Structure 1
């Protein structure tokens, strides 16, 4: 069997989808060394993988000024990948693996060109883990997703080009075109969605393997009184803005005002690092507000999901046929939300124009019009039938594993 190096970034939406695949590879006899930040050690240990932590210099990260809610141009994302991921992490990953040998590498797509550099320096084939939609065209052409405003694009381009040239010299590798830095490199790309949900899937060749979301039990999920969800109401509505963008107290106030008279049980996950403060006194009686809930279990009971439209949360909701009210905030969320709305499984609201009346109207529409549930189920069927992490492990091992 083979020895595998798995490298990903420290984000829930990038780590959680890989857990089932890693465990399946281990169960199939592969030796997996998984590298991520220390906070994910316990979670990865449950898969049977060997965990190694790389360090994140948070001071350096803050000095770089990266905030996904403030990306105004595709080059901001390229800059983030170069300076916030490749420059920061590649030296330590290579240092920790210099006396090791591996048979193949699986790396997160946010490493982009950095994953190709790792594979070249280690001399092994590569697999790209794509936990968002796969790019069907260069990110540089997706300008409509961003709001450039008065950004000095020329200065940003110069910084990106200078950083890329420096990295190419440092590792003695060929310098790609700027638009290719964010590409999904790899001999095989594992995409954690279905071809039906992926926009423009016909533009992607057979090196893209669509396996659907990796839905596995989370042993670190908190306890939750699931039996209380329908004790007073017939409908259940789940509200969560993800694991990063959870501290918008004004949004929670809007929810309390919008939904206090709707006869449904609302479950609000407001984030373990968020403090509701004085808002705690204004929580309506039809709300269960907690810092963290077992999302998969709650979604299985939910009739609608109000979300930021992060790829992970959206996929999990659709996997369980739950229609959505989406308030995208940053990154790829507008793209995900647009796709769900186009396929009829939810509605998109503009955060900058959000009012209690708009929130209430959208939720009632999703709850009361059967077409949203119908289309959510159609997408859910495609996700459940995509093959899952077992097929991904089998395909990877057939290509790269030792007999």
Structure 2
């Protein structure tokens, strides 16, 4: 049995799938600790994981030394055999080096190749160079050599492990022209909290009414520039579908209740609680949400906001399960026309169902736990 520390951001799209890997590791006999913000302690307790609160995760590129101190204090109190870290966090990877602890990194988004990263390549290179200087200074302060891996200067791969990097993305969403292909990378798929039974028909769970259920998903990423667009599409959805035949459920931030023009349900459910009821999901295009839609066989309208969202939206469109609505196209008329096209064409639902039945056979959390255990056993044999 190994004592394993998992260090992750508090964001739902990060902490929820990573916890599922922790659950599988405990079932394989390991002692697993979750190190994250105190707000997610209840998730660790619900899933029978040990918990230790740390801070400084909200903005991974800042407060690296502060997080490093928090992680180091934990390691000094609790000897650790393996660190599993969110690949966007550099501090746990540095701590692993400092204490000679092997590490595994986990990524919950697409590892885009440098050429596929949005924006100006020259600007991106300058930002990466500045980040690398910052990391190297922190490493020097801790008597470590400069980083030699070029990926470590990228925000999404700052905590990349040289031993094993798990990418929690379904193969169906991978376009090899846009992602990194590296020997240590393993594309294992999504790690949902629950897997629904397979289905061969288009019906959903019986309800007392016949309403068309639309789930509107919002992002938990605290970026100011996304707030205006999020508010716009939430408000537009609540106006367009303000009819008795619809039920609109806004999943995410309860504070959005104040901006809606009607009174839809506003809640903070996990996908496995609400998606079985949904006929359509309107989402910002985060990888975790898209994968939940594929898992439950739900057609989508995707409003891409983040760096990899457009690439993911294009892939979902190629799969025949979604329509894309760009942020500058958000109007009541365009949104309703997208809805009508999906609602009137059964192939969207049929395609979604076919993919759902395929991805339900995957077990990424168990596969990940086995890969991690094999790594531990291999290192033990080497000793």
Bin for the TM-score computed over the shorter chain: 0.7 to 0.9
CA distance in 1, matches of 2:184, 2:130: 32
Q: Which of the pair has the greater relative contact order for Cα pairs under 8 Å at 6+ separation?
A: 1
Q: Is the 8 A contact 1:238 1:305 kept in 2?
A: yes
Equivalent in the alignment of 2:198: none
Is the aligned partner of 1:98 residue 2:70? Answer: no
Preserved CA contact (<8 Å) 1:233 1:265? no
| 8 Å CA contact 1:321, 1:373 repeated in 2 | yes
Of 218, 226, 236, the residue aligned with 1:254 is 236
The 3-state SS of whatever aligns with 1:5 is strand
How far apart, CA to CA, are the structure 2 residues paired with 1:123 and 1:48? 27
- Give distance in 2, aligned partners of 1:34 and 1:22: 8
373, 387, 392: which one pairs with 2:363? Answer: 387
Identify the residue that residue 75 of structure 1 maps to in structure 2: none
Partner of 1:271: 253
Cα distance, 1:371 vs structure 2: 2.5
Q: Is the 8 A contact 2:295 2:355 kept in 1?
A: yes
| Matching residue within 118, 121, 131 for 2:98 | 121
Root-mean-square deviation over aligned CA pairs: 3.2
- The equivalent residue for 1:163 is 134
Task: Confirm whether residue 132 of structure 1 aligns to residue 106 of structure 2.
Answer: no
Give, in angstroms, the shift of residue 398 of structure 1: 2.1
Q: Does 1:83 align with 2:62?
A: yes
CA contact (8 A) 2:238 2:248 kept: no
Give the equivalent residue in structure 2 for 1:36: 36
Say whether 1:315 aligns with 2:294.
no
Q: 1:177 Cα shift?
A: 5.8
Which of residues 188, 210, 218 is equivalent to 2:187?
210
After TM superposition, give the deviation of residue 275 of structure 1 in Å.
Answer: 3.9
Distance 1:117 1:233, change over 3 A: same
Residue 109 and residue 162 in structure 1: after superposition, are their counterparts in 2 closer, same or farther (change >3 A)?
A: closer
Name the residue aligned to 1:22.
Answer: 22
Cα distance change on mapping 1:229 and 1:270 into 2, 3 Å: farther
Change in Cα spacing, 1:320 to 1:205, as seen in structure 2 (3 Å) is same
Contact 2:67 2:91 in 1 (8 A): no
Aligned equivalents of 2:74, 2:336: Cα separation in 1:
52
Determine helix, strand or coil for the equivalent of 1:196. Answer: helix
Bigger CA drift: 364-373 or 11-20?
364-373
- Mean CA deviation greater in 243-252 or 41-50: 243-252
Change in 2 beyond 3 A, CA 1:49/1:291: closer
* Cα distance change of structure 1 residues 133 and 231 upon mapping to structure 2, 3 Å threshold: same
Counterpart secondary structure, 1:35: strand
Deviation at 1:297, TM superposition (A): 2.5
CA distance in 2, matches of 1:120, 1:323: 44
Aligned-partner SS, 1:102: coil
CA–CA distance in structure 1, aligned partners of residues 181 and 124 of structure 2: 30
Moved more, 14-23 or 124-133: 124-133
Q: For residues 241 and 95 of structure 1, do their structure 2 counterparts lie closer, same or farther at Cα, with a shift above 3 Å needed?
A: same
Once residues 338 and 236 of structure 2 are traced to their aligned partners in structure 1, the CA distance between those partners, rounded to angstroms, is 13
Residues 128 and 346 (structure 1 numbering): CA distance in 2 closer, same or farther, change over 3 Å?
A: same
CA distance in 2, matches of 1:146, 1:152: 8
Query: Among 303, 314, 317, which residue is 1:327 paired with?
Result: 303
Q: Judge conservation of contact 1:326–1:349 (CA < 8 Å) in 2.
A: yes
The structure-2 alpha-carbon separation of the partners of 1:157 and 1:55, relative to structure 1 and needing over 3 Å to count, comes to: closer
Q: Deviations over 1:20-58 (max 9, x none)?
A: 21112112210112210111111112222221111239x
How far has the Cα of 1:326 moved from its partner? 0.6
Structure 2 vs 1, CA of residues 36 and 344 (structure 1 numbering), >3 Å: closer, same or farther?
same
Size of the aligned set, in residue pairs, is 360
Does the C-alpha gap of structure 1 residues 228 and 30 become closer, same or farther in structure 2, counting only changes over 3 Å? closer
Structure 2 vs 1, CA of residues 10 and 129 (structure 1 numbering), >3 Å: closer, same or farther?
same
**CA pair 197-155 structure 1, distance change in 2 beyond 3 A:** closer
Q: Deviations over 1:115-137 (max 9, x none)?
A: 542322221222111211234x2
Q: What's the TM-score once normalised by structure 2's chain length?
A: 0.82
* 1:354-365 → structure 2 map (5 Å cutoff): 354-365=330-341
